[in-house]
Amino acid sequence: MAGSIYHHLLSRGVTRRDFLKFCSATAATLGLSSSMVPQIAEALEKKERPSVVWLHFQECTGDSESVLRASKPSIAKVILDIVSLDYHETIMAPSGHAAEKSLHDTITKKKGKYIAVYEGAVPTKDGGIYCFVGGKKSIDTCKEVAAGAMANIAVGNCACFGGVPAAKPNPTEAKGIRDIIGGTVLNIPGCPMNPENFTAVVVHFLTFGSLPALDSLGRPLFAYGKLIHNNCERRPHFDQGQFVRQWGDQGHRLGWCLYEMGCKGPMAFQNCPTIRWNEGTSWPVQAGHPCIACATPDNWDAAYPFYQRMKAVPGVGWQANADKIGLGVAAATAAAVAAHGAIRAAKRRKECSKSEDEGHE
């Protein structure tokens, strides 16, 4: 159908084969069966591109960069082509009044038909004077744009939960979008968010006309339903008490568990180990750095210090999600579970120091 997303992609040089690969990959990210691929393809073949207004508040533009560097297959094109990005300060041509007009035109002419994407936190201290764009306070712009949006999506930890600007002592009293506008905000946290999760959410919305299932923090369960620790490729080393003790030691070179170096994988829910980054090339833990729980609310304090071992690993099952167990270390898990975890951790530490003695020098 002319004007459809599929038509648009073809006109931009995306082949039918690449298009179907994209549909399959997105179905996989969403945790859908491959039998759903035709339905996704059909939706993208028929639907017009939804209008997107992308706002920047207290942020670093890392989430925009993340999307612009999305790749699967040539997704830098797909992501920018499955949506009609009507306002985005980093990549739009107009500046000044012309830019303000683009925003105004979109939210008035397409009222109730655009998706609002928020990147960055909103400062609330002193009446919200710490972030202005186009002479308007971000808190006012945020409310104005949200009022006419058919869906509100917060991308990155700042827009979802406050992120870096909200780290103690939160000098500007920065807040996530949900705390500003209330109602349903779909949160795609991470620092930055993973672009494939964003694409999957948009495709879900186009295919089924609804947002995917969310946890109590507004995060889609397909992406944030599993604990990193439970899906980590280094997990067998944790279970066997094989830990990295020092940067560059034998364990580090062998890819052992980073728990002792401060890894917060046991409190972090995200699909990094499965979809990874940069076309599935790698992710922080695979590259040898501890997880900093960047998709967790308040991680800049709750997961801090980043290079200090977590005091306890909550005992959680494979099927647990953030709603069932609370937020890891910060949450009061059942005493029995905590005790169980502590005993196991102590046991592992003992085994670990034994293996360290054997493994070194």
Partner 1 sequence: MAKIVVDPITRIEGHLRIEAQVEGGKITDAWAAGTMWRGIETILKGRDPRDAWTFVSRICGV
**φ/ψ of residue 121, rounded to 5:** -85, 165
| Residue 93 makes contact with partner 1 by CB under 8 A | yes
Nearest approach, Cβ of 122 to partner 1 (angstroms)? Answer: 11
Cis-peptide, bond into residue 192, ω within 30° of zero: yes
Cα separation, 259 vs 307, whole angstroms: 9
**How many CA atoms within 13 Å lie on the side-chain side of 254?**
15
Q: Which is nearer to partner 1, 16 or 125 (CB)?
A: 125
The contacts of residue 41 (CB under 8 Å, 6+ apart) are 6, 19, 20, 23
Q: Which is nearer to partner 1, 22 or 300 (CB)?
A: 300
How crowded is residue 285: how many other Cβ atoms within 10 Å of its Cβ? 24
| Residue 211 makes contact with partner 1 by CB under 8 A | no
Q: Quick one: which segment of 39-47, 123-131, 176-184, 310-318 binds partner 1 (CB under 8 A)? A: 123-131
What amino acid occupies position 136?
K
Q: Quick one: which segment of 28-36, 166-174, 249-257, 331-339 binds partner 1 (CB under 8 A)? A: 166-174
The contacts of residue 57 (CB under 8 Å, 6+ apart) are 118, 119, 120, 121, 122, 123, 131, 133, 138, 142, 158, 159
| Residue 63 makes contact with partner 1 by CB under 8 A | yes
What b-and-e string marks burial along 302-332, b requiring 16 or more CB atoms within 10 Å of the CB?
ebbebeebbebbbbbeeebbbeebbbbbeee
| Residue 306 makes contact with partner 1 by CB under 8 A | yes
Q: Which is nearer to partner 1, 289 or 349 (CB)?
A: 289
Q: Quick one: which segment of 11-19, 30-38, 56-64, 347-355 binds partner 1 (CB under 8 A)? A: 56-64
User: Of residues 167, 221, 302, 337, which one binds partner 1 by CB under 8 A?
Assistant: 167
Q: How many residues bind partner 1 (CB under 8 A)?
A: 46
| Residue 99 makes contact with partner 1 by CB under 8 A | yes
Cis-peptide, bond into residue 123, ω within 30° of zero: no
| Residue 60 makes contact with partner 1 by CB under 8 A | yes
| Residue 188 makes contact with partner 1 by CB under 8 A | no
Tokens representing 190? 């991470």
Nearest approach, Cβ of 14 to partner 1 (angstroms)? Answer: 25
Cα separation, 273 vs 284, whole angstroms: 9
Q: Quick one: which segment of 75-83, 165-173, 250-258, 337-345 binds partner 1 (CB under 8 A)? A: 165-173
User: Of residues 8, 47, 49, 56, which one binds partner 1 by CB under 8 A?
Assistant: 56
For binding to partner 1 (CB under 8 A), which residues are involved? 56-65, 89-96, 99-100, 123, 130-135, 138, 163-165, 167-172, 174, 191-192, 292, 300, 304-307
